[in-house]
Structure 1
Amino acid sequence: MMFPNLFSPLKLGTTEVKNRISFQPHLTNLAIGNLPSERQMYYWGERAKGGAGLIITEELTVHPTDMAYEKLIDVYHAEVIPGFKKITDYVHQYDAKIFAQLNHNGQQGDGSISRLPVWAPSPIPDVLFRETPKAMEPEDIEEVARYFAKSAIHVREGGFDGIELQFGHSSLARQFLSPLTNFRNDEYGGSLENRMRAPLKFIAAVRKAVGNDFTLGIRMCADEMIPGGLDLAQVQEICARFEASGLIDFMDLSIATFYNLYLVEGSMHTPLGYTIPLAAGIRERIKLPVFCTGRINDPVMAEKVLANGQADMIGMCRGLICDPFLPKKAQEGRLEDIRYCIACNQGCIGRIGMNKTLGCVQNPAVGREKEWGEGTLEKASVKKNVTIVGGGPAGMWAAKMAGRRGHKVTLIDRNEGLGGQVVTAMKGTGRDEFGVIIRNEKSQVDKAGVTVKLGAEATTEQLLAEKPDVVIVATGSIPKKHPVGGADGPAIFNVLQVLNGEAELGQNVCLIDYDGHQRATATAEFLANQGKKIDMITSSLFICAELGPTQDLYSSRQRLLQKGVTFTPDIAVMEVGGEAGAKTVKGFNVYSNVWFDWGPYDSIVLVMGQQVEEDLYMSLKGKVPELYRIGDCVAPRKVDMAIWEGHKIGREI
């Protein structure tokens, strides 16, 4: 076997899991009326079907004062039990185990949904939610413990195999444990023994409710990663004391808090396996099974962690959102078929943070497993000759899906390789992992029997002469040619020219950012790394305005500022001018309407929007039996919509 440790069983309390892969807890926003839903059943079931040994649900809220997110499941109501039974029965048919995660978010929430005060150890506002909580009285602590117990009973009656208590990055329990958030001077604050009193009370209440023959563990924050908070040495001691209580069966780990959320949900700017040393540190101190989670997105790394004794269980979250069948593919030695997560955070964390249902840039089936999951793709009743023009993500996905359905598919691209704009985007600083999208799909296009023609320009005349049954145009978009007055002058370049090495920029560069996303920031950092002096001007409130949901806002701004990039927000640029070496920018403050001039610059880089490449589509309208366009040549957007539309049209034609 390629992965002997990864696919060996593990005993967690009274529960034996068939392998060392755990699908980790994360919000889905798929609950309906704060009750478990059919979509969740199919969502978690797909990962069980894909071979994960253990599924841990998203956090389930145990008390009315904890409604940090609108679509949490209220596990303290007995009405959850029938829905839980459907979910656990569905998961169990695939020989997987499923645990429920119970949580109270404490100060890391607000009362706008519950219309109740937020409860916390001390009246300290959370850095993200910023609502001053009520300092819990002793009777409040007792009440939460009772609610944990009541919720645990509902979990057991719902057919779950175990419970995980969230004591990690977002939890009331961690707030009691941490000196950063616990300023109490009663028996629940001060010394470590006192700070552990409330969390131990929660554990004891749950253990008493479910009995000793039911698996119970903790999700623990291994290091808060902020001065004044819990560090690894303190957490090692806390974990040892929890273990000594004899009440728990395993220790799952997370990292950081809302003070540094970019570490909780590390993007592609965060190293792969960045939490492994923390897991190893806890593993050295306790004998209970330890889970390691954090950008372990492939079975090779997972096997190495286990073989080195750094952890006992590998938590995969985004990796299994992206490819639910990663475990089965790994066990069968089909590594080339794994769709590897790129930690772009756009479809998962980015959507959840905006209160949308969970998604994935590379997996349109997320949350739609009943309709689009494994085994739902049917062969086409009528086999057609399908020509797809454009080999970017939209075209590749359309080709793959249509080929799998039995159509005869030809994919044409003018470039010498597939990938479209991804080929350029991956050249931006810290964005090389974005290119994994191409690697993931190229082999699947080949396996689907698609004929690929590269370096070929598809013309209207040629396509009409070949008489295909279906033409799908996926020709993408290009930077706007004249987004502002003077943009056609000398020493003015777009992102494609810069990243492809086609721009003679000079040393002093102004980058005009109307994007607020990686297209602008990764290009600015790319130039700063060359030692160039970069001024960024934006009409938004701040640079990186679109990067908050993906957890790249803080770290991107930090890196840019450390590299000498300067930021000028709130400016609507109306004109660029001057000669090479003396370029100027003219615009006004969008609030004061006061006009300003900037310069001189050696050159200007415009990140001011894209325009469709639709000429081919327009020339074919009414001339072929079936004509479609997908991706950026419909409207310039991000890669998730290109893949979504390619996937959808490939299923439907």
Structure 2
Amino acid sequence: MMFDYLFSPIKLGQVEVKNRISFQPHLTNFAEHCMPSERHMYYWGERAKGGAGLIITEEMSVHPTDTAYEKLVEAFHPEVIPGFRKITDYVHQFDTKMFCQLNHNGQQCDGSISRLPVWAPSPMPDVLFRETPKEMEPEDIEEVCRYFAKSAVHVREGGFDGVELQFGHSSLARQFLSPLTNFRADEFGGSLENRMRAPLMFIEAVRKAVGKDFTVGIRLCADEMIPGGLDLGQIQEIGGKFEESGLIDFMDLSIATFYNLYLVEGSMHTPLGYTIPLAAGMREKINLPVFCTGRINDPVMAEKVLANGQSDMIGMCRALICDPFLPKKAQEGRLEDIRYCVGDNQGCIGRMGINRSLGCIQNPAVGLEKEWGEGTLKPASVKKKVMVVGGGPAGLWAAKMAGRRGHQVDLFDRNENLGGQVLTAMKGAGRDEFGVIIRNEKDQVDKAGVKVHLQNELTPEQILKDNPDVVVVATGSQPKGHPVGGADGPGVFNVWQVLDAKPELGEKVCLIDYDGHHRATATAERLADMGKTVHIITSSLFIGAELGPTQDLYLTRQRLLQKGVTFTPDIAVMEVGGEAGSKEIKGFNVYSNQWDTWGPFDSVVLAMGQQVDADLYFALKGKVKELYRIGDCVAPRKVDMAIWEGHKTGRSI
């Protein structure tokens, strides 16, 4: 396919960008002592090497009161300049332009980090941070202007090609603009003109500091998506006024706020390209270049958006975290080699939500580009005969990486298709996109020279007879056979049986959830979609307790409740009793210790944990030259650890 629009150049202010792909701002937690780090340099450099035309950094803090997270780079310190310079010099060698995003998070800050009051337009706590801010006095607003200007000078001296001011979902500027968060009665509140006053002051201060020949843009929330907030029509008017000021060169768009964070960072339950209509609406009213971002993970979709005139630039974030070389592969016509992001959010947004460093379930090299990035894989000095047993994510990655190093690799799986538990997980409601993880790797295994043997369950004797140099056991895990009394009786099934075999369950089904993640909730939703009356019982505080960091909690609970699913939290299930068609659940409240009985149910479905399938490993232990155990057969976990261990093992053999 030809990408006439996607790979055409564009002028953003004084800067010409070689193509229309922008690697969008997002947190990384790579900062060291609030300074830019070497990890930043290699991380952004990998995306430049991969062909992105523009890279916009994660938000940089402009003021001591802006401490939304512990590891934000503090751009107001002049000490950032040498680190900035190293990063921009490294990125520029790949003919990629780089902008720095500056921000003050306002009410969306955490005073426990800074030990300072949180500053905001009005003393209204943020829905997520819940800290009452200080209402900014006029001199505070003027101080933030000075700090924006100071930070912008550091950005220019650090070698960046431009600066983007965050006026979007998480920003002091948006809080001034929005009637949801601005209740002031002075010249900074009330009318639209007054609410725009402080944001315009921020822009004016930056423009004056960096001069007319430096590119300055804003990231604007295109719709707060909540009653009483700013909608597209109002943002079109605001955007028009910003454009009329003559102070900015482009308009990057975001969506929603912390009231509805699941829309800011949409998971696979959010449609691909879900923000395109908003970008198109802004493009109709704005002559400046407009960016569109939001689950555009495919160059074909990106080309259509540009060809339709709905946007001038395509913002890709998770797509380029997952595959930094997506642009280069698309330009070279190698679409089948692209590792497509599935919007699962576990490795990226999920890790940010619990204050870990950035990751990706499908790309173990994220944050480790210096050691594991493109070009770091070396041919094996000694070519070995490698047998990988198990064709799930761990086995696939181990085989692929070992094959790429030049080993003779055979991959065996007992099933008809490669994929392991992913093939079951993708059958949960709304989880079909999860299967792309396996589709992404199948061709890569073949291209690595791996011989695949399906429907082949090897015995220890067969392996020993074949005398391999290396055996990698990736045989996965199985649902626990008897996790609670009566759980092996009639009318009791596990999640796998429900998703794979679709047994006769009857009308009323109880799902016991000790998982708190998609294994339980997506199965419950699938049952509801089948017309079942579903009751979920969990020992956790609430249903879906593990889904918060991935932004799936809100919509998952919404869908389950809309489909009539009943929730009972705080219950430790101790026994499953009764006969098929009349099952009872016995347990006690984990806080009151009060016992109770639930039922009758036609059947019971268990999401009560997995157990390792490691018999082959222990049968081979001490009998082969080099033996590895990876993935769920070490300990049942999520897909990110299976892929991590497969990657690490495959490149170390």
Measured after TM superposition, the shift of residue 2 of structure 1 is 1.1
Aligned to 2:465: 465
**Which residue does the alignment assign to 2:107?**
107
Residues 266-345 of structure 1: pairs in structure 2 closer than 5 A? 266-345=266-345
Counterpart Cα distance in 2 of 1:79 and 1:211: 22
Matched residue type, 1:206: V
> What amino acid does structure 1 have at the position aligned with 2:357?
T
**Which whole-Å CA distance do the structure 1 matches of 2:541 and 2:474 have between them?**
34
Q: Which residue in 2 is equivalent to 1:568?
A: 568
Give the equivalent residue in structure 2 for 1:158.
158
CA distance in 2, matches of 1:437, 1:443: 12
AA matched with 1:649:
T
1:275-316 CA deviation, whole Å, 9 max, x = no partner? 000000000001000000000001000000000000000000
Query: Equivalent residues in 2 for 1:499-578 (5 A)?
Result: 499-578=499-578
- Residue 207 of structure 1 corresponds to which residue in structure 2? 207
* CA distance in 2: counterparts of 1:353 and 1:487, whole angstroms: 35
Query: For residue 431 of structure 1, what is the aligned residue in structure 2?
Result: 431
Q: Cα offset for 1:502?
A: 3.7
Corresponding residue number in structure 2 for 1:7: 7
Per-residue CA deviations over 1:324-350 (Å, capped at 9, x if unaligned) read 000000000000000000000000000
What SS does the corresponding residue of 1:217 show, helix, strand or coil? strand
| One-letter amino acid of the counterpart of residue 293, structure 2 | T
Other-structure match for 1:605:
605
What SS is found at the alignment partner of 2:111? coil
Structure-2 residue corresponding to 1:407: 407
The residue type paired with residue 126 of structure 1 is: D
Question: Amino acid of the residue matched to residue 577 of structure 1?
Answer: G
Q: Which runs of 4 or more aligned residues in structure 1 lie more than 4 Å from their structure 2 counterparts after TM superposition?
A: none
Q: Secondary structure at the match of 1:303?
A: helix
Q: Which residue does 1:440 correspond to in 2?
A: 440
Q: Deviations over 1:114-171 (max 9, x none)?
A: 0000000000000000000000000000000000000000000000000000000000
Superposed CA deviations along residues 161-191 of structure 1, whole A, max 9, x for unmatched, are 0000000000000000000000000000000
Separation of aligned partners in 2, 1:252 and 1:105 = 17
**Cα separation, 1, equivalents of 2:40 and 2:214:** 23
For 1:410 and 1:110, the matched residues in 2 are separated by 52
Q: Which amino acid aligns with 2:16?
A: E
| Within-5 A mapping of 1:249-260 | 249-260=249-260
Provide the rounded CA distance (Å) in 1 between the counterparts of 2:523 and 2:412: 29
Q: For residues 503 and 487 of structure 2, what CA distance do their matches in structure 1 show?
A: 15
Secondary structure (helix, strand or coil) at the match of 1:113 reads helix
Does 2:505 align with 1:491?
Answer: no
- Partner SS state of residue 73, structure 1: coil
Tell me the alpha carbon deviations over residues 402-458 of structure 1, each in whole angstroms, 9 at most, x when there is no partner: 000000000000001100000000000100000000110000000000000001111
Letter in 2 for 1:488: D
Counterpart CA distance in 1 for 2:109 and 2:2 is 44
What is the CA distance between 1:503 and its match in structure 2? Answer: 1.8
Deviations 1:9-51 (A, max 9, x none): 0000000000000000000000000000000000000000000
Tell me the residue number matched to 1:143.
Answer: 143
Q: CA deviation at 1:593?
A: 0.3
2:495 maps to amino acid: V
| 1:26-41 pair list within 5 angstroms | 26-41=26-41
Alignment-mate amino acid for residue 142 of structure 1: E
SS of corresponding position for 1:159: coil
State how far apart, in whole Å, the 2-side matches of 1:422 and 1:450 are.
20
Give the Cα separation in 2 of the matches to 1:652 and 1:635: 21
The TM-score with structure 2 as length reference comes to 1.00
Secondary structure at the aligned position of 2:70 is classed as coil
Separation in structure 2 between the aligned mates of residue 176 and residue 130 of structure 1, nearest angstrom: 18
In 2, the alpha carbon distance for the partners of 1:390 and 1:155 equals 50
> 2:363 maps to what in 1?
363
Counterpart Cα distance in 2 of 1:190 and 1:245:
20
Deviation at 1:109, TM superposition (A): 1.5
- Write the distance in 2 (CA, Å) between the matches of 1:577 and 1:474: 36
Matched position secondary structure for 1:75: coil
For structure 2, list consecutive stretches of 5 or more residues without a partner in the other structure.
none
Shift of 1:501: 2.8
Looking at structure 1, the residues matched to 459 and 445 of structure 2 have their Cα atoms a distance apart, in angstroms, of 23
Report what 2:22 is aligned to: 22
Does residue 480 in structure 1 map to residue 480 in structure 2?
yes
The CA deviation string for residues 211-244 of structure 1, in whole angstroms up to 9 with x for no partner, is: 0000000000000000000000000000000000
Q: Deviations over 1:556-612 (max 9, x none)?
A: 000000000010000000000100110000000000000010000000000000000
2:648 match: 648
Q: Which amino acid aligns with 2:146?
A: R
Q: Name the aligned partner's letter for residue 643 of structure 1.
A: I
Give the distance between the partners of 2:496 and 2:427, measured in 1 at CA.
10
Q: 2-side partners of 1:293 and 1:483: how far apart?
A: 45
Percent identity reads 82
Secondary structure of the 1:112 match is helix
Task: Tell me which residue corresponds to 2:238.
Answer: 238
Q: Return the offset for 1:551.
A: 0.1
Give the match's secondary structure for 2:524: helix
2:238 partner amino acid: I
Aligned to 2:361, the other structure's residue is in SS state coil
Match of 1:384 in 2: 384
One-letter amino acid matched to 1:135: E
For 1:4, the aligned partner's letter is D
Alignment-derived partner of residue 629 in structure 1:
629
Indicate the residue corresponding to 2:83 in structure 1.
83
Instruction: Give the residue type in structure 2 aligned to 1:58.
Output: E
Matches of 1:143 and 1:533, distance apart in 2: 59
Matching residue's letter, 1:285: K
In structure 2, C-alpha distance between the alignment counterparts of 1:141 and 1:441, rounded to whole Å:
52
1:538-563, Cα deviation, whole Å (9 max, x unpaired): 00000000000000000100000000
Whichever residue aligns with residue 450 of structure 1, its letter is: V
Correspondence 1:163-174 to 2 at 5 A: 163-174=163-174
Could you tell me which residue of structure 1 aligns to residue 419 of structure 2? 419
Residue in structure 1 matched with residue 225 of structure 2 by the alignment: 225
Return the letter of the residue paired with 2:206. V
**Partner residue of 2:180?**
180
SS in 1 for 2:112: coil
Question: What is the Cα deviation at residue 110 of structure 1?
Answer: 1.5
